[in-house]
Chains A and B, each alone.
Chain A
């Protein structure tokens, strides 16, 4: 048994638009091992979004295999995929995607609602998860009462609450200012050090520098895959940054 969390082989995705067929992924093969922090890069239309959707079990490949923790999920039914998303995958989005009418702790409880976790256990774990991202005392706040960075932390707490095998982040710093971005990256690096496997889409090379491995997509193909010899330390960068305006 390998140490691969993700193993994709000859992954292809074709969109049938009636008269034309668009090949979004044309045979991608790659492995992601436990504990890696991978940056997925590429221009829009490069296939990285399609790749992430398949990785996140939101979509199924047209052909090829996708093994998540050695389990073939490429042929699973809709409900099985939902169950995989619920327990094995944590999503972090650019737009945070919190439910605005719910408080922070309710948002974090949500995945457990669909995972049949008992009610008291839900609250306990949600609070733990919020505390882990540094928002323990803001659990009753609603998203509109939180700053962008704090909202993204809530989203990360929600992604982690079911202890997934992999954390998928789609431009998680895209809506954040540079200092807050580094704060979020610092959190990711901390989670990474604690053993989390993270795959993060970004189109900014300096954000990718905080990752241990960088892969590039172009025209649906994996064109570059290399380890980052000089991983930047977000904590050090933060310390070097001027305290600037303190954000609530």
Chain B
């Protein structure tokens, strides 16, 4: 018997009992579809994170007060970062292109009868450059307005929608903590970050305004800066670190009272979390595939018993044990491979449907499709072995007598 004969016989036999074939394949189909769609979801999330970094500026470095702690958590209320640090970075670090003092608080923004709880961020005139944000209308504040702590603000799309609706926001006055601020610009919508923070829910003011008029403090929450290029990021971090170590008089080997985090690091932490999640769900899906394989074995054992007489006839006319074994093994492998193929197609379909249906990004790659297809074929080989062995060991005389 050639391979073509084995496959031909298997396909022919499976096509004779379509309902059973379909139901038996279901476990495999669902398992493979689950693996393919879950991995596509994970890949989509990772790709989204990558897109986030490029959107937020791949060159972005965040200097925060307090020592770096694992997992992105950090102590709050540390007052070691001051405006002069930002000034020094601006003048002494050649790898740094733009710098923005960072001030951040949560506050109510009120316009006429409407109010919204939002994030108020203070920045320098270079803030849009550092973050890579664009304006939809109006303009941004300049260095003069920063120096004067001007009562102006630039709002995110969500705030515009909440407070102004269809009204023109430019030139209107909104109040934050009783400070009247003139709206001079609106950011173009940016959507959520992959960590779920809405970047359009923001009011940006000059950092001086933020510190003196709104918060009433002297220290910065952060310093945002951008390196001259992506390649310059490590150099910028190095320059900023040694500058601040000097300014803060950190003894060599001592623990820094500030930390630099690149956007790349943020993204990597996020990707690692996504990858872990994806792996866990994939393992569950693979277990489901395995359970599907047990179902296949069960059906094949029934099938072997049912077809005892057929096996007897085949043996009587000269089928060797091995040929009978190949017949049933071939059937199982073709069954699960076919299930894998259908499952992969279904998974790809689901992966294309998810973004439309619930808005989560997905990305279909070849690897999970190929791997889960091969895995399903392997499941067939593994779980087909025992039933096929049972069939091949039958005694032809007994099998012929079987009713």
A residues near B (Cβ < 8 Å) are 53, 56, 58-59, 78-79, 82-83, 85-87, 91, 93, 97-99, 101, 110-111, 113-116, 119, 158, 162
Contact = CB atoms under 8 A, between A and B. Distances in A.
Contacts of B318: 82-83, 85-87, 111, 114-115, 162
Contacts of A93: 400
Interface of B: 1-2, 4-5, 9, 13, 16, 309-310, 312-323, 396-397, 400
Given A97-B309, A113-B5, A114-B323, A58 B396 contact: yes
**Nearest 9 CB-CB pairings of A with B:** A86-B318, A82-B320, A114-B318, A111-B317, A85-B318, A79-B320, A114-B319, A97-B313, A101-B16
Contact of B397 (A53, A113, A116): A53
Contacts of A59: 397
A9 B400 CA distance: 27
Nearest to B5: A113
A102 to B, nearest CB: 8
B16 A110 contact: no
Contacts of B321: 78-79, 82
Given A97-B309, A101-B16, A114 B317 contact: yes
- Max count, chain A CB within 10 A of own CB: residue among B9, B316, B396: B316
Given A111-B317, A114-B319, 9 more contacts: A58-B316, A78-B320, A82-B319, A82-B321, A91-B316, A91-B317, A97-B316, A114-B314, A116-B1
A223 to B, nearest CB: 24
Given A97-B309, A99-B310, A79 B322 contact: yes
Contacts of A78: 320-321
Given A97-B309, A99-B310, A101-B16, A83 B320 contact: yes
A114 B309 CA distance: 17
Contacts of B400: 58, 93, 97
B309 to A, nearest CB: 7
Contact of B1 (A56, A98, A113): A113
Nearest to B317: A111
A33 to B, nearest CB: 24
Nearest to A98: B313
24 contacts: A56-B316, A59-B397, A78-B320, A82-B318, A82-B319, A82-B320, A82-B321, A85-B318, A87-B318, A93-B400, A97-B312, A97-B316, A99-B310, A99-B313, A101-B16, A113-B1, A113-B5, A114-B1, A114-B314, A114-B320, A115-B318, A116-B2, A158-B317, A162-B318
A58 B16 CA distance: 29
Contacts of A53: 397
